[in-house]
Chain A
Amino acid sequence: MSKRIDVNDLNVYYGDFLAVEGIDMVIEARSVTALIGPSGCGKSTFLRTLNRMHEVIPKAYVTGKAVMDGQDLYGPGVDPVEVRRQVGMVFQRPNPFPTMSIADNVLAGVRLNNRRISKSDAADLVERSLTGANLWNEVKDRLNLPGSSLSGGQQQRLCIARAIAVEPQVLLMDEPCSALDPISTLAIEELISELKNDYTIVIVTHNMQQAARVSDRTGFFNIAGTGKPGHLIEMDDTTTMFSTPSEKSTEDYISGRFG
């Protein structure tokens, strides 16, 4: 249950503003792809086009192609709701539903569309998903407490559990650790390494070491200046990117000379 995505000449617009231009990218199945680059270069914007979450923003639209195992995500008749069930997302700030218990948060995606699930199946799924998110041992005694009663790092793992409970093909993460302390960050990074056995993962990160630690491939985004569109400058195996990148600007960014 993991698929690859081929992105072909993708442009993203916010109304008249071209935010990201001409992205060609291959995202391999069962691997971690990291997207790095300075703020405002369109990493989040691009990431959200992979599950059509950009459509939530009025006037945002895309031209080009993103093909997941032969299926164009933007093809005619493709329902964004279906795309999002296949391509899950974890956000920068942990966002468990405050009105739901921990267990209900995990089940939130499964309960959509009036899908019925028996009590024992639900309990199994909760345990499986929370175990998958390395959270089970910490919360198994308080599954009925509100999700907001957890620490930030635990909340973020709860969100990951919620995302994997619906068994998506791909998991998108937009700076999932930037609101967390170092210990929680470590926990999430370990989790990502485990999850890549089952999922295709794309992670946006500001943290170069994190990209180096968790990812197999890294893509570097950049912009020429404010108001200009973001581009994918280069993309390669993470080890290559961090040792011998072929672009000067990649090397400058990675070695901390700007951004």
Chain B
Amino acid sequence: MAVAESPPSDPEAPPKVRVGRTPGRLGNRVFQGISTASGIFILIILAAVAIFLLVRAWPALIAAPSAFEDVGFMLGRDLWSWVWPLLFGTAISSVIALVVAVPLSIGIGLFISHYAPRRLAQGLGYLIDLLAAIPSVIFGLWGIQWLQPLVSPLFTWLSTNGATAWLEENVGPTIFTGYQAPARNILTAGLVLAIMILPIITATVREVFLQTPRLHEEASLALGATRWEMIRQAVLPFGRSGVISATMLGLGRALGETMAVLMVLSPGYLINFYLLQPGQHQSIAANIASHFPEASGLGVDALIASGLILFIMTFGVNLIARWIISRRAEFSGAN
């Protein structure tokens, strides 16, 4: 039987300080190395993507406008008058998606974090996470098979009700003018996108709302706030930057979404706000996907140039979001 031998303790001895072998330092260094390397790696990937896009898009960017006449899918337009409508289509479908998805996500997130009984909240949370795992092809199919027939009567009503008719007669066309079934229009595409980005936004804002310090919630309640007042006073301001980040995550996905838009939308290359008419709009991503297989020569370059513009767009959106968040950082609750 081994007897643990306690080291002879000398009361005179100075307290022991760890010397030599610099304990812990190796681990520090390894970890620092790994994190620095991954940071650099991400930057390199980003730069590589940007350079690839720029290099491959270059011939299209410098080509004379007349050079694009041979590219069939550009319908005789030069690069910019071809790309602007696509940019517009991308933006408008994403904006529709955000307008629908963000308030809904905040509502669901708050319900899960602050209203629902624990069991129900957990179940709902899992359900939302599952929704995030559904591939976009499925959403596209769902949009065509289920959503389109469902919204069709609503769109018909929007397009033909008294108010719209009166406006058409006295003011001019409205955003609801001229609905044609089936609903292969930009509003349907936006709604499908909204459902697609709902899970990621909801999951993020729910986490953010759950992290509201109990201290601040109680401060509000102790002042005599109702639950809704407490949410407005403590939870929402605290979650503000998180909501913006979540919105940007959703926007990033909506801007780049290809499959669902490709399947749902009947494409067109116009700039207008006729949300219910087919053949008006198209998004950059869906356009690349639909024309890349048949493209050759300058056509490929033009498609890549449109990809470059999408890249710059998402990049810019993220920069703006960072700026919004940092502008009120001292009020963020992070300090």
Q: Which residues of A contact B (CB under 8 A)?
A: 51, 53, 56, 81-82, 84-85, 88-89, 91, 93, 95-101, 108-109, 112-113, 145-146, 148-149, 159, 162-163, 166
Q: How far is the CA of A53 from the CA of B225 in the complex (A)?
A: 11
Shortest distance in angstroms between A76's beta carbon and chain B's nearest beta carbon? 19
| B321 contacts across to A, CB distance below 8 A | none
Q: How far is the CA of A120 from the CA of B89 in the complex (A)?
A: 49
| CB pairs A–B below 8 angstroms (21 shown) | A56-B217, A56-B218, A56-B221, A81-B226, A91-B215, A91-B222, A95-B213, A95-B218, A95-B219, A97-B216, A97-B234, A98-B332, A98-B335, A99-B238, A101-B331, A108-B220, A112-B224, A112-B229, A146-B330, A146-B331, A162-B223
Q: How far is the CA of A108 from the CA of B223 in the complex (A)?
A: 8
Q: Is the CB of A53 within 8 A of B333?
A: no
Q: Which residue of B lies closest to A86 (CB)?
A: B224
Q: Which 4 A-B pairs have the closest CB atoms?
A: A99-B237, A85-B224, A109-B223, A98-B333
Q: How far is the CA of A177 from the CA of B224 in the complex (A)?
A: 23
Does B233 belong to the interface (CB within 8 Å)?
Answer: yes
Shortest distance in angstroms between A99's beta carbon and chain B's nearest beta carbon? 4
Q: How far is the CA of A96 from the CA of B335 in the complex (A)?
A: 12
Q: Is the CB of B223 within 8 A of A84?
A: yes
Does B240 belong to the interface (CB within 8 Å)?
Answer: yes
Q: Which residue of A lies closest to B118 (CB)?
A: A58
Would A53 and B330 be within 8 Å (CB), given that A85-B224, A98-B238, A108-B223 are in contact? Answer: no
Q: Is the CB of B331 within 8 A of A81?
A: no
| A53 contacts across to B, CB distance below 8 A | 218, 221-222
Shortest distance in angstroms between B32's beta carbon and chain A's nearest beta carbon? 31
A149 interface neighbour in B213, B217, B237, B330, Cβ under 8 Å: B330
7 new A-B contacts, CB < 8 A, other than A53-B218, A97-B220, A112-B229, are: A97-B216, A97-B234, A98-B216, A98-B331, A108-B220, A145-B330, A162-B223
Would A100 and B237 be within 8 Å (CB), given that A53-B221, A84-B224 are in contact? Answer: yes
Q: How far is the CA of A60 from the CA of B44 in the complex (A)?
A: 56
B218 interface neighbour in A88, A91, A162, Cβ under 8 Å: A91
A112 interface neighbour in B218, B225, B330, Cβ under 8 Å: B225
A148 interface neighbour in B222, B223, B240, B335, Cβ under 8 Å: B335
Q: How far is the CA of A163 from the CA of B223 in the complex (A)?
A: 7
Q: How far is the CA of A100 from the CA of B220 in the complex (A)?
A: 12
B233 interface neighbour in A81, A82, A88, A97, Cβ under 8 Å: A97
Shortest distance in angstroms between A237's beta carbon and chain B's nearest beta carbon? 29
| B224 contacts across to A, CB distance below 8 A | 81-82, 84-85, 109, 112-113, 166
| B240 contacts across to A, CB distance below 8 A | 99
Q: How far is the CA of A51 from the CA of B224 in the complex (A)?
A: 10
Q: How far is the CA of A96 from the CA of B234 in the complex (A)?
A: 10
Q: Which residue of A lies closest to B240 (CB)?
A: A99
Q: Is the CB of B219 within 8 A of A84?
A: no
| B330 contacts across to A, CB distance below 8 A | 145-146, 148-149
Q: Is the CB of A88 within 8 A of B223?
A: yes
Shortest distance in angstroms between A182's beta carbon and chain B's nearest beta carbon? 23
Q: How far is the CA of A113 from the CA of B333 in the complex (A)?
A: 24
Shortest distance in angstroms between A173's beta carbon and chain B's nearest beta carbon? 11
Q: How far is the CA of A70 from the CA of B331 in the complex (A)?
A: 43
Which residue of A99, A109, A145, A146 has the most chain B CB atoms within 10 A of its CB atom? A99
